[in-house]
Structure 1
């Protein structure tokens, strides 16, 4: 697919004809990344939502379309709203919402904060350019908050991610969920960028989960009607999880899923690995199996670039085992996502935390 990376479209106060009958038709009407501006009661302030950085994560678009067609017609937002729909081409590839990025393409959410002429090669330059245009569309309105809406590949509870913890980020997170992950990972994602305002990512839940769409819609509606972001009180207590790391396969390592050890090459994860998203993994608990290369199949890199895999896991014969009590995020049985992104995110938990039993 030929993509015009220099294009970004603007739509102000769209009419029902612009929004079409449903979110799928609305998606197909777009020719590229699209900025939708909505006039609020206070037109001196903007609140920004981004979504569809990955084409297979539809909750944000579904929720935005529902807000524009159901809520906005009844009541304007307290401030101007800017919605930025990012990877339109990937989302519109058939079947809809099935591709993280277009065939032969790259993950847009790895190109933020880069200088196209210095940090990117010819094949990457278009994605650098689009990331820059999205950043520019955020910065040009000097927003008082930014929220980036995502889905996980597999069912998981909703959680927020932020690069900093403040009263504002905790309050915004509480509109969607009860867990906020403090992340200092550096991989070119939008959440690493500073827009001089509270900024969180919301992982709404599984991409096929109707509840994830509902959570995104309810959160947008609450943000739109909040009178003052700076003085907003948290709706609920938010638990903070500190500095997750990404467990990844090394290059060219095979990945399988199974209920029992089948002797596959590379790494085999338990076929119910997703259920760890809803609980915790205990010290000495087995998560899968390894071939003769053992832990050398895997990498777990900290902020300094050091592989700290042995601080979190060990091999018990050919089993992959937790060295400590761990919380897993975004564990999935979607092989493409696990192979190209990561197997899951992981943080260490204090022993006392494990009163909450794992579900696996």
Structure 2
């Protein structure tokens, strides 16, 4: 598919004709990054919501379309809202809403903040500029988790706004110092937060996104909302990753496969406490050398968190894990899961 990386489209207060009958028809009607601006009661402030950075994460699209089709002159949001649909090409690729990227594409959420003026990096720059143009009050980037999981948020800083935005959508906040080139990591002069709404295959995830958008649209002051809901905070997650060229499989038993075999039920552990000595899978003769956990100093600290029991992969300390996935492509190219030691939870 040929892509114009300089393209971006704008719609102001679109009517039903432009929004189409459902989110699927709407998705097929847009080409390239698309900005929808909704006029608020207070024209001096704007809040930004982005979605479809990944084409297989549908909750943002579904929830935004549902919200947009319910807006009329009597139900305007408190402030202006700017919605940005970032990668409709990958989302509309057949079968729709199943491709994270185009077959020959890059992960757009690894391209922000880079001084590279072509391709997906150029698209990221255009999206960044579309956000900066409105001097936003907040930026919320809607995603789905790569496996079945409760909803949670991710921020780079612990502050009142991060806690408040989290509480509009969920009650778990991950404070991350990992820098990967994600939209959330950029400086927009305001709080920028990622909401992982849960699995794209779970209807509850779409409801999480919709209810959060509706609250964000209607509230005047969102800076202290977290006082109405306790927010659990997880500090400085690490990524469990495969070494390059390591084989990966999933099973309920040890079948003696090459590389790493994770337990079939790995996703059930998301946001659950994994106690020390918990078995998560099996390793071949290379043992822990198949895996890596790189800390902030660039050191592989796999031995701090995992050990071997015969050929079983076993936790060494109590852990909280999230984003554990059975999506083999994501597990191989990104990570198997994120982890936080139990004493790093507030």
Task: Specify the TM-score bucket, using the shorter chain as the normaliser.
Answer: over 0.9
Deviation string, structure 1 residues 171-203 (Cα, Å, up to 9, x no partner): 110011111000000111111111111221100
Which 10-residue stretch deviates more, 70-79 or 335-344?
Answer: 70-79
Q: Is the 8 A contact 1:60 1:216 kept in 2?
A: yes
Q: Aligned match of 1:321 in 314, 320, 341?
A: 314
TM-superposed CA distance for 1:72, in Å, is 4.6
Deviation string, structure 1 residues 25-83 (Cα, Å, up to 9, x no partner): 00000011101100000011000001111000010010000000024565000000000
TM-superposed CA distance for 1:153, in Å, is 2.0
Residue 356 of structure 1: aligned partner: none
Q: After the TM superposition, which residues 91-106 of structure 1 pair with which residues of structure 2 at under 5 Å, given as runs? A: 91-106=91-106
Q: After the TM superposition, which residues 251-330 of structure 1 pair with which residues of structure 2 at under 5 Å, given as runs? A: 251-330=244-323
TM-score of the aligned structures, taking structure 1 as reference length: 0.93
Q: Secondary structure at the match of 1:342?
A: coil
Residue 120 of structure 1: aligned partner: none
Deviation string, structure 1 residues 260-312 (Cα, Å, up to 9, x no partner): 11000000000000100141211111100000111111111122222111111
Change (3 A) 1:96 1:327: same
**Quick check: 1:218 aligned with 2:211?**
yes
**Quick check: 1:62 aligned with 2:62?**
yes
Which 10-residue stretch deviates more, 332-341 or 267-276?
Answer: 332-341
Change (3 A) 1:52 1:182: same
Q: Is the 8 A contact 2:234 2:345 kept in 1?
A: no
Q: How many Å separate the matches in 2 of 1:277 and 1:322?
A: 15
Q: Is the 8 A contact 2:288 2:307 kept in 1?
A: yes
Q: Is the 8 A contact 2:241 2:292 kept in 1?
A: yes
Q: After the TM superposition, which residues 227-266 of structure 1 pair with which residues of structure 2 at under 5 Å, given as runs? A: 227-266=220-259
Residue 358 of structure 1: aligned partner: none
Residue 184 of structure 1: aligned partner: 177
**Quick check: 1:9 aligned with 2:9?**
yes
Deviation string, structure 1 residues 87-145 (Cα, Å, up to 9, x no partner): 1100000011100000011100001110015xxxxxxx301101111111111100011
Q: Which runs of 5+ in 1 are unaligned?
A: 118-124, 354-360
TM-score of the aligned structures, taking structure 2 as reference length: 0.97
**Quick check: 1:337 aligned with 2:318?**
no
Which 10-residue stretch deviates more, 177-186 or 300-309?
Answer: 300-309
Q: Is the 8 A contact 1:325 1:351 kept in 2?
A: no
Instruction: Give the paired residue count.
Output: 346
Which 10-residue stretch deviates more, 131-140 or 342-351?
Answer: 342-351
Q: How many Å separate the matches in 2 of 1:292 and 1:267?
A: 10
Residue 29 of structure 2: aligned partner: 29
Q: Is the 8 A contact 1:172 1:234 kept in 2?
A: no
**Quick check: 1:157 aligned with 2:180?**
no
Q: Which runs of 5+ in 2 are unaligned?
A: none
Q: How many Å separate the matches in 1 of 2:89 and 2:330?
A: 18
Change (3 A) 1:305 1:351: closer
Q: How many Å separate the matches in 2 of 1:112 and 1:257?
A: 33
TM-superposed CA distance for 1:314, in Å, is 1.3
Which 10-residue stretch deviates more, 244-253 or 68-77?
Answer: 68-77
Residue 135 of structure 1: aligned partner: 128
Q: Is the 8 A contact 1:112 1:128 kept in 2?
A: yes
Superposition RMSD in Å: 1.5
Change (3 A) 1:233 1:89: same
Which 10-residue stretch deviates more, 44-53 or 298-307?
Answer: 298-307
Q: Is the 8 A contact 1:331 1:345 kept in 2?
A: yes
Q: Is the 8 A contact 2:56 2:91 kept in 1?
A: yes
Q: Is the 8 A contact 1:67 1:217 kept in 2?
A: yes
Q: Secondary structure at the match of 2:289?
A: helix
Q: Is the 8 A contact 1:244 1:345 kept in 2?
A: yes
Q: How many Å separate the matches in 1 of 2:214 and 2:328?
A: 34
